[in-house]
């Protein structure tokens, strides 16, 4: 919930940091500081991993409650050999990571973690304030002839969003996936993206995620869902090296395409929020939106996720399940004659989950959080299924086909499960917040890039209701 006092805060430290990010200067780091990025990722059981990315020759030391502890090497600087990617060979290059990635698991009960002059944000026992963002990169993609103006903060506003969202002072940030969009070189004459790094190496990751996201990385730990842009054939090497909270293992690092089935999936994990609430993070990032053949090895993996989600949700007071692809959203596509075609639900994922559970989503799962669709959306299905929220509107070029305010009755993500309430914001960048208001209740809000509130929503178990903010 936006509070009266936050307006002043929005113009102080984070605003300065955001301005630095927009100017291309690294945030929270002096030119002499070899640490290029530092953050805390919450992994299985909510265990915090402090991570530093440095150009120094060794890993830095972290000060935990006044005690110095050396960080452990996760990945040494390397250039990975060129592997087949989603881009054509002439628009591909080996991924260079001329940086050292360092980790340290922060022991339970640690009150403070400091890296040089940077305090790192540790999770409070009760996580009550959550920022949700998604699809944050700047789209440079030859196949679609899409050249977003990465150099223009009006047209690529992730740094502004990170600054605003940081001023809201979250306890946790949830990213619903798709971090890296700068896949191909900006063509000559495209002034808006001139000079942008591209490909899947460190320079593109830094420009697309770590620099603009720095204000938000500094204030709260993150729960990181993986998007299809982080598949092995795209930015998967960087996903494993830089972001995933779990160990970096040979054979799951996306370097050898022969191992992609293993590299493109991980079992889900739960991040406790306190008082029996939790966020379950799922990696269904290779699912796509079309059919998944029963013989596809990912089908068995996703059914494993469905089973594990059911086990994790059992007995909990509130469960947010996060993945990149929405299960229960409604999307709009423009037809050839200008008519709008509505599509509801991810049929393949719903079918696979339905094989494990006749109700599709396991009991105890209250809210689904996803991205992939570049807009904000809320779908309430009367309590038969969790409410679905989509927050893929935090930086990348947006979807502009309008969605109706009231859906035709036949448009529903699951047969026999009508949409009871529906809301969407199209063509407005922003971020969503979740604030705990009770044992099974949360207040959700949606803000634009300037921190103006657009929506207030009440979540009560599986039910949700939104209204325009005054
Ligand atoms: Fe996506």
460 token code pair: 């009560």
- Nearest-5° angle of CA 174, CA 179, CA 183? 170
Q: How close is the Cα of 429 to the center of ligand 1, in Å?
A: 16
Expressed as residue numbers, the domain containing 340 is 5-27+35-468
Residue 3 CA, ligand 1 centroid: distance in Å = 32
- pLDDT in single tens digits along all 470 residues of the chain: 333 332 323 333 333 343 444 433 334 567 789 999 999 999 999 999 999 999 999 999 999 999 999 999 999 999 998 999 999 999 999 999 999 999 999 999 999 999 999 999 999 999 999 999 999 999 999 999 999 999 999 999 999 999 999 999 999 999 999 999 999 999 999 999 999 999 999 999 999 999 999 999 999 999 999 999 999 999 999 999 999 999 999 999 999 999 999 999 999 999 999 999 999 999 999 999 999 999 999 999 999 999 999 999 999 999 999 999 999 999 999 988 889 999 999 999 999 999 999 999 999 999 999 999 999 999 999 999 999 999 999 999 999 999 998 999 999 999 999 999 999 999 999 999 999 999 999 999 999 999 999 999 999 999 999 999 97
**Token pair 């604030």 is at which residue?**
435
Q: How far is the CA of 242 from the centre of ligand 1 (A)?
A: 19
The CATH number of whichever domain residue 100 belongs to comes to 3.60.21.10
- CA Rg, the chain, in Å? 21
What is the Cα–Cα distance from 399 to 302, expressed in whole angstroms? 27
CA of 272 to the centre of ligand 1 (A): 26
Measured in angstroms, how far is the CA atom of residue 361 from the centroid of ligand 1? 21
**How far away, in angstroms, is 32 Cα from ligand 1 center?**
36
Give dist(CA 429, CA 158) in Å, integer: 9
Q: How far is the CA of 399 from the centre of ligand 1 (A)?
A: 12
How many Å lie between the centroid of ligand 1 and the Cα of residue 230? 9
Q: How many domains does the chain have?
A: 1
Half-sphere exposure of 41 (CA within 13 A, CB side): 23
- Beta bridge partners of residue 8, listed in sequence order: none
On the CB side of 107, CA atoms within 13 Å amount to: 8
C-alpha distance across the termini of the chain, in Å: 13
CA 137 to ligand 1 center in whole angstroms:
11
pTM equals 0.93
């Amino acid at each position: 919930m936006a509070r009266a006092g936050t307006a002043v805060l929005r113009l102080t430290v984070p605003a300065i940091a955001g301005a630095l990010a927009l100017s291309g200067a690294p945030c929270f780091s002096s030119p002499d500081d070899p640490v290029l990025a530092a953050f805390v990722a919450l992994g299985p059981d909510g265990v915090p991993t402090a991570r530093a990315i440095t150009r120094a020759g060794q890993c830095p030391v972290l000060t935990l409650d006044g005690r110095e502890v050396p960080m452990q090497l996760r990945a040494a600087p390397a250039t990975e050999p060129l592997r087949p990617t989603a881009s054509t060979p002439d628009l591909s290059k080996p991924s260079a990571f001329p940086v050292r990635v360092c980790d340290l698991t922060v022991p339970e009960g640690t009150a403070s973690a400091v890296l040089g002059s940077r305090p790192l944000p540790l999770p409070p026992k009760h996580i009550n304030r959550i920022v949700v963002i998604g699809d944050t990169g700047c789209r440079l993609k030859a196949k679609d002839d899409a050249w977003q103006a990465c150099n223009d903060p009006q047209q690529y506003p992730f740094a502004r969003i990170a600054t605003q969202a940081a001023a809201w002072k979250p306890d946790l940030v949830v990213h619903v996936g798709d971090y890296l969009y700068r896949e191909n070189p900006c063509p000559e004459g495209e002034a808006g993206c001139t000079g942008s790094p591209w490909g899947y190496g460190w320079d593109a990751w830094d420009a697309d995620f770590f620099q603009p996201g720095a204000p938000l990385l500094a204030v709260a730990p993150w729960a990181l869902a993986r998007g299809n842009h982080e598949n092995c054939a795209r930015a998967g090497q960087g996903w494993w090296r830089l972001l995933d909270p779990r160990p970096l293992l040979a054979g799951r690092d996306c370097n050898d395409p022969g191992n992609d089935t293993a590299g493109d999936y991980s079992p889900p994990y739960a991040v406790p929020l306190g008082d029996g609430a939790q966020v379950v993070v799922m990696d269904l990032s290779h699912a796509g939106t079309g059919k998944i053949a029963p013989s596809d090895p990912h089908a068995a993996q996703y059914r494993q996720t469905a089973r594990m989600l059911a086990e994790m949700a059992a007995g909990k007071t509130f469960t947010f399940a996060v993945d990149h692809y929405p299960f229960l959203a409604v999307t709009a596509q423009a037809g050839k004659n200008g008519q709008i075609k509505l599509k509801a639900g991810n049929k393949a994922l719903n079918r696979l989950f339905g094989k494990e559970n006749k109700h599709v989503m396991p009991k105890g799962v209250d809210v689904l959080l996803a991205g992939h669709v570049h807009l904000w959306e809320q779908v309430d299905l009367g309590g038969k299924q969790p409410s679905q929220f989509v927050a893929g509107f935090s930086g990348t070029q947006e979807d502009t086909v309008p969605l109706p305010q009231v859906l035709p009755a036949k448009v529903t993500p699951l047969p026999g499960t009508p949409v009871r309430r529906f809301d969407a914001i199209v063509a407005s960048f922003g971020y969503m917040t979740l604030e705990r208001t009770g044992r099974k209740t949360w207040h959700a809000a949606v803000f634009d890039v300037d921190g103006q509130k657009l929506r207030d929503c009440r979540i009560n178990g599986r039910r949700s209701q939104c209204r325009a903010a005054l």
